[in-house]
Amino acid sequence: MPRPSVIPTVKAALENYLERMQVAFLALPEDQRAPTLPATPDGKVNVRALAQAIDLKQTQEKYLYERPELTGLINLVAEGQGLMPIGSRLLVDAADKALKDRMVRTAKSAKASAQAAVEAQSATAELLEKLKEAVLENETLKAQNMRLKAQLDMINSGMMVGVQE
């Protein structure tokens, strides 16, 4: 025959404890309210201290984390008192990981943009050099054209005799 579940007993003790803590919290003047549930220094509900307060064995503490019906009760009161709920560390870790991933993607994108900018700058410099060469060649051709026009004008005016073969 299987052993009877301890969850109903744990739930009853937990509900009784949470009720007392909530009554104590609400009894304080609103401007002086501080969480009456045990809390960690960083503002999370301290589940281990809560388990000790309801006389759970150390091997039974896990139920407060694993069983949704128990975790839900604790989280409702904890959030009402301004504490972060059970599992909030996992949410913070996930948010931190997402932020780190986004930062890595941004850094990669920035690196790619910087590389593209360097390549574009190099291409621009190359095009400017080709443009300078084309302008110089154009000026050379203009000068040659002007000289040839002057020679043609001199030939037409009779000042210069053309050489015929």
More confident: 103 or 91: 103
Q: Can you tell me the mean pLDDT for 7-12? A: 88
Calpha distance 2→8 (Å, rounded): 15
Q: Can you tell me the mean pLDDT for 26-40? A: 88
Q: Is 162 left (phi over 0), alpha (psi -120 to 50) or beta?
A: beta
| 145 — pLDDT class (breaks 50, 70, 90) | very high
DSSP state of 36: -
**What integer pLDDT is reported at residue 140 of this predicted model?**
95
Per-chain mean pLDDT for the chain: 86
Calpha distance 119→115 (Å, rounded): 6
